[in-house]
Every structure is written in structure tokens, then in C-alpha cells.
Amino acid sequence: MSQTSQTLQPANPGKNRHDLGRKTSSQAVIARIARELLTGHEREISVRLWDGSLAFGDGSACCTLLVNEPGVVRELVLHPDLFRLVESYLDGRLDLEGDFEALLDLGERLGLDALPASRRFELARLAMSLPKSRSRIPVPRRFPGKWSRNNSRETISHHYDVGNDFYRLWLDPEMVYSCAYFASDDQPLAEAQRDKLDYLCRKLRLQPGQKLLDIGCGWGGLALWAARHYGAEVHGITLSEEQCRLARERVKEAGLEDRITIELLDYRDLSGEALYDRIVSVGMFEHVGIKNFPTYFGTVRRLLKPEGIFVNHGITSEQDWRRTPATRFINHYIFPDGELARISTVLAAMEDAGFEPMDVENLRPHYALTLRHWVRNLEARRDEAIAVSSEKTYRLWRLYMAACALNFDKGGIAVHQVVAGIRGNRRPLPLRREDLYARPVQDSSQMRMGSAK
């Protein structure tokens, strides 16, 4: 975790000092440690112990850290490590009530190495007086070696095949698992996701009868939107069996089997040249791997017609993927093959493949808003989420999405939509952008069928 230059103030003997004589030894020690680390942050956090007593704060803070056994404090003070902290939360030794992001933000601003050596020694001495944890907290160092091929079916399944019922609980009705496109902070998620689907179709300048390839089609939200509202012929591909099954069911229910084909297929296995008028990739680019950019963009270039348009929507980072505690967390728990690149790295790879980037838009604030909707939805349906997955899965996704929302807000990561044409295409886009904003979201009564069939 990152630290700031701010140093912690000495323990406050005032309102946060508890009557240690009426506490057990472990409770008294944890109260002392909490005061040493958290004094000055009473409005941000309270600490509650396994018996319901407060070790720090008065319970009115925006978040409350629940310590369910004394041993977890001992281990985290003696061996501060992101994975120990995560594992302690996942197995229930630590829990949280209230604003998850507030705790994560505070954690980034605090750290034992920001303390003078004398106070670190004192904290370690206190921690060693606590009983050891019931069992050793595992500290994974890397993902198992079998996850070797970026964007493989196994790595995609690890994330997306958690179960359609799980995702359905907290996604919008279209089941769009990428950032929405908000008109305002208080716009409903479902409406903002429909706006995003339409915005993508307008960026593609999609016309009736055009052939659209959707790489990483998810549960078919964009494919259905493009066929239903723009009359496109869509070929969607995914490596997730769960997504493929549900996407096919949704296509059949919509009566669009004549216009949409969904396949369980790797994009690298697509054959042919100049087959598609439009190609779009939304939310799968993060799995590609920087070393595979030439293959990825080269494949898209081969499949796109000379006058075609390509839209790549993916998360980017302020720096290319490096081995840090945060990236190890992502690769171990969430995306085994995930790698984020700078937008400059992405654009250079596109140009090397023969693309001309025509329009680049950063939707970073939209993803922070989206993630907060997802976290609230997940928390509101906690019991159902656990019933269709597990307690650990619920906790992991709650932690992951809250941490990502904070990171998007701070600018550590962003999400860019890049509209590109093949170099040499004299005018792939209109001279101005009015067409992106002038037309409202269409409904089925306004669909321009043209030569759709």
C-alpha cells in the first residue's frame, strides 16, 4: 500500500482511551494498537471487536472494521502484507460495515513503515503479546503455472464462469459487464448501460445489414442491441461457456437467430480476410496480454474490410503492467491473465498493425460510477449472492470492485474507447462528431431495418 508523508500522531489519551482494566488483555492490546495507528481518523473508521466492544472510535464513523479474532491483528502487525489482509477478510477474520472505499482509501494513506522505528518496535512488541491466529493465514505469491496462455479458455472461465445467476444479481437487465455511459451522477445504471450500448453502435457508425464481429461478446448485450436497433448481422464470440450458453438463450428468446450467431471461439482461431464491416471489442482487451498485442490487432486488421471501422474498449493503466502487490492480487484472485497497458502503448500497437486511431475517449469517471452501482447492488443482495456462489466469492467481488472504483477515481486506471480505421481509408469517419450526440437512444419501433436480413 502507498503511504503519504503524513506521520501519525501519538496516541490520544482523551475520548479514545478505554478503561483497560475492564478489558481482557487482548482487547486492551488491540485498543492500544488501534490508537497508535488511527488516532486522528475517528470520523473515518471505528474498530469493533469479536464481543461487540469498541477498540477505537465511537461507532459513528463512515466505516467500522470488525476484528473477529485477536490473532489476525498480531499477524498483520508483525507481517504487514496485502495478501494476508485480503485472506483475513475473505475467511471472515476481518469484516467491514459501512463504506468499503473509505477503509481502502485510509489503508492507502497509512502504513507501518511511515512510523518512526521506535514506534514500529513498540507496535511489534504489543502484537507479540496477542495469541496466535487459529490457523496460518496463507500468503499466495503467484498464480499457478497452468495459467500460461493469455486469454485462454481456462483463464476466462476462472472469472466469468462463476455463474450467470451470480452476475445477474448485480448487473443491469442487459447484463453488461463493462462501464456504463452516464449523463449524470444520479442516472440509473440500467439507463446508462443502454446509453453505452447505443453510443458504441453510433461510434461504429453501424448501418443495417452490416456484418459486425463482437470479440468477447459476454452475455450478448451489445449483439442484441446492434441487431435489434441497428439491423446489423452480428457474430459474437466468447471463451466463457456460461456466457455463451446464456447469450444463445437470449438470442433465441428475442427471435434474432437469423441475425445473431454466438460461438464459443478464440479470436485467434477466426479464419479468412476482410469479412466484417465493423469489429468491436468491449471489456476483453484486458485479457490479451501486452506481448500478444501484435497478434490481437493483426487478427482484427486481417478480418476487417478495408473501409471498415474498429472500436476497442478496454481498461488502461498509468503505467504498463508491473509486479506489485496490487497486480499480484488481480492476477491471483480475479484475472489470472490480466494485464493493463498505457494508452500510448495501445495506440502504438494499433499503428504497428496498420490501424489509424481516429478518435480516443477516456471514460474513467463512468467506470467509477458503474462500479459503485455494482457494489451497492451486490451488497443489497448479499444472501442471494452467497447462495448461488459462496461467502468467499461474495467477499472477493465486493473487495475487488470497491478497490477498482477507488483506483478509477484516483486516476491509477482508466478506460479508453479507441475508434480506428485501416490506414489508407481516406475517410472512415464523418468530418465532425455531431452524429454521436444528436440521435437519442432508439427503441424497437424506430429500428431501421433496411437490408438487415
Domains and CATH numbers, the chain: 20-128 (3.30.1050), 153-446 (3.40.50.150)
Q: pLDDT grade, residue 450 (50/70/90)?
A: very low
**Average pLDDT over the chain, rounded to whole?**
85
Mean pLDDT of 421-435: 91
Q: Is the pLDDT of residue 152 over 70?
A: no
Is 439 or 250 the better-scoring residue by pLDDT? 250
Pull the grid cell for residue 148: 500460461
Contact criterion met (CB below 8 Å) for 94 and 68: yes
d(CA 98, CA 64): 6
d(CA 291, CA 207): 34
Residue 132: predicted pLDDT: 87
Q: Which of 63, 179, 244, 404 is catalytic?
A: 404
Active site residue 62: no
| H helix or E strand, kind and range, residue 344 | helix 343-352
Residue whose grid cell is 489519551: 13
Q: pLDDT grade, residue 154 (50/70/90)?
A: low
Contact criterion met (CB below 8 Å) for 381 and 391: no
Pull the grid cell for residue 362: 477516456
Q: Is the pLDDT of residue 223 over 90?
A: yes
From the CB of residue 163, how many other CB atoms can be counted at a distance below 10 Å?
14
